[in-house]
Structure 1
Amino acid sequence: MRYHPDIHHRRSIRLKDYDYSQAGAYFITICTKNRECLFGSIVNGEMLLSAWGVIVKNEWLRTSIIRPNIVVDEFVLMPNHLHGILVIVDTDCRGTLQRAPTVERFGKPTSNSIPTIVRLFKSTATKQINELRKTPGEPLWQRNYYERIIRNERELERIRKYVINDPLKWSLDIEDPERQKDYQNTAEYFKRMFEE
């Protein structure tokens, strides 16, 4: 089917005009393409990583190594998605790369913004996994991802608890292929979950 802008449009869940490179905490959820369970399995409430899952976990952790102003907070890798909290720390000791403009200009990515971090993470993990499974160019992730700006300490603690306990609740998780029919979309679910 050919692309038609009136039918095939994606509604962005991002806040209009919000600077996603500013200091703060962000809750990120990234799903595999078609929610395929590639990263391991849940056994007795514990995530057992596949070789591909190990690659994804290592790349997520590398985020704070290659970006000194990013802190990887709580995260969990599930069979077909990753939940993680990224914290952008406001610091004056940033390198040249971190001094890039914070407003996207002419549709170009902004250095160290949440969209750029997620895009590069997905790209690097995909390349490594495709080399391992000998499927060059094969998509690994859904086109987009879910993110939420964490607004206060109470919400941060609630999200941390959710992330930590996610493997224990896999049979109830909306990303479990057995449960997906129960929810229209991930954004609606998380909006309800984190409303105060």
Structure 2
Amino acid sequence: MNETHFRGQYRIDPARLAEYDYGSNGMYFVTICTRDRQPYFGSIVEKGDGYALQPTPIGQRAIDCWLAIPDHFPFVLLDEFQVMPNHVHGLLCIKKPDYDGWQPNAFGPQRQNLASIIRGYKVGVTTFAVQQQIEFGWQTRYHDRVVRNADELLRIQKYIRENPAHWATDQDNVAGLYM
């Protein structure tokens, strides 16, 4: 088929920066959503002086799998993260002491980079759902941002920490649309 067949209607632009090396040392902010933004992971409840996720079993697994990322990828340091009813926000730091080769993002097998980390995380949660016969699915893609400086990092950390308090008015809160 030639490119004019669909007149560009069904082409999805790549989500990654074309010349960036997603296996290089750096801090990455990721957001991963559930399929159709379904609230599989639980609900946000008021707790003490704030709000927090009251996780379902699959929500608890999403938390546990996130915390286990460094067990599978020892070059990853975890920073702030938050599992919400229908998405996960997290900061991952890739720290490879001997890394010196720049390999721009390319189509093909992905290993030891952000895509392989997120794939492993999603597989861990999905496998648990299948084993427990829990209805569950991920959105096929995820959003990432390369954190560029300390000020941006502080803003993202605050955003992640405060996310549960803003859940009732969050545009991704499907249930909240009907409140």
Shorter-chain TM band: 0.7 to 0.9
Unaligned stretches of 5+ in structure 2? 1-5
Partner of 2:62: 56
Q: 1:154 aligns with which of 151, 158, 178?
A: 151
Q: 1:178: Cα distance to partner?
A: 4.9
- Please identify, of 152-161 and 4-13, the stretch whose mean Cα deviation from structure 2 is larger: 4-13
Specify the code of the residue in structure 2 equivalent to 1:70: V
Tell me by how many angstroms 1:101 deviates: 8.6
In structure 2, how many angstroms separate the alpha carbons of the residues matched to 1:118 and 1:159?
Answer: 19
Could you list the structure 1 runs, at least 4 aligned residues long, displaced by more than 3 angstroms after superposition: 99-105
- Residue 74 in 1 paired to residue 76 in 2? no
Given the alignment, which residue of 155, 165, 169 partners 2:166?
169
**Separation in structure 2 between the aligned mates of residue 112 and residue 11 of structure 1, nearest angstrom:** 23
Q: Contact 1:103/1:110 (CA < 8 Å) preserved in 2? A: no
Cα distance, 1:79 vs structure 2: 0.3
Offset at residue 108 of structure 1 (A): 2.2
Deviation at residue 174 of structure 1 after TM alignment: 2.3
- Determine which structure has the larger helix proportion and give its number: 1
Seen in structure 2, the aligned counterparts of structure 1 residues 100 and 50 have a Cα distance that, compared at 3 Å, is farther
What residue number does 1:111 align with?
Answer: 111
Query: For the Cα contact (< 8 Å) 1:76–1:164, is it kept in 2?
Result: yes
Aligned residues of 1:100 and 1:111 also touching (Cα < 8 A): no
1:86-125 alignment to 2 at 5 Å? 86-92=92-98, 102-103=103-104, 107-125=107-125
Identity of aligned residues (%): 32
1:34 matched to 2:40: no
Residue type matched to 1:24 in 2?
G
Match of 1:194 in 2: none
Higher RCO by CA contacts (8 Å cutoff, separation 6 or greater): 2
CA contact (8 A) 1:72 1:87 kept: yes
TM-score by length of 1: 0.78
Unmatched segments (≥5 aa) in structure 1? 181-196
**Aligned letter for 1:50?**
T
Paired AA for residue 126 in structure 1: T
Q: For residues 29-72 of structure 1, what are the alpha-carbon distances to aligned partners after superposition, in whole Å with 9 as ceiling and x for unaligned? A: 00000000000100112211110011111111111122111011
Is 1:129 paired with 2:111? no
CA contact (8 A) 2:16 2:105 kept: no
Task: Classify the secondary structure of the residue corresponding to 2:77.
Answer: strand
C-alpha distance in structure 1 between counterparts of 2:132 and 2:149, whole Å: 41
TM-score, structure 2 length as denominator?
0.85
Contact 1:20-1:113 at 8 Å conserved across structures: yes
Structure 2 CA distance, aligned partners of 1:64 and 1:174?
31
Query: 2:22–2:105: 8 Å Cα contact kept in structure 1?
Result: no
Q: AA paired with 1:8?
A: Y
Give the Cα–Cα distance (whole angstroms) in 2 for the partners of residues 151 and 5 of structure 1.
Answer: 36
Q: 1:124 to 1:176 in 2, by over 3 A?
A: same
Distance in 1 (CA, whole Å) between partners of 2:29 and 2:80 is: 10
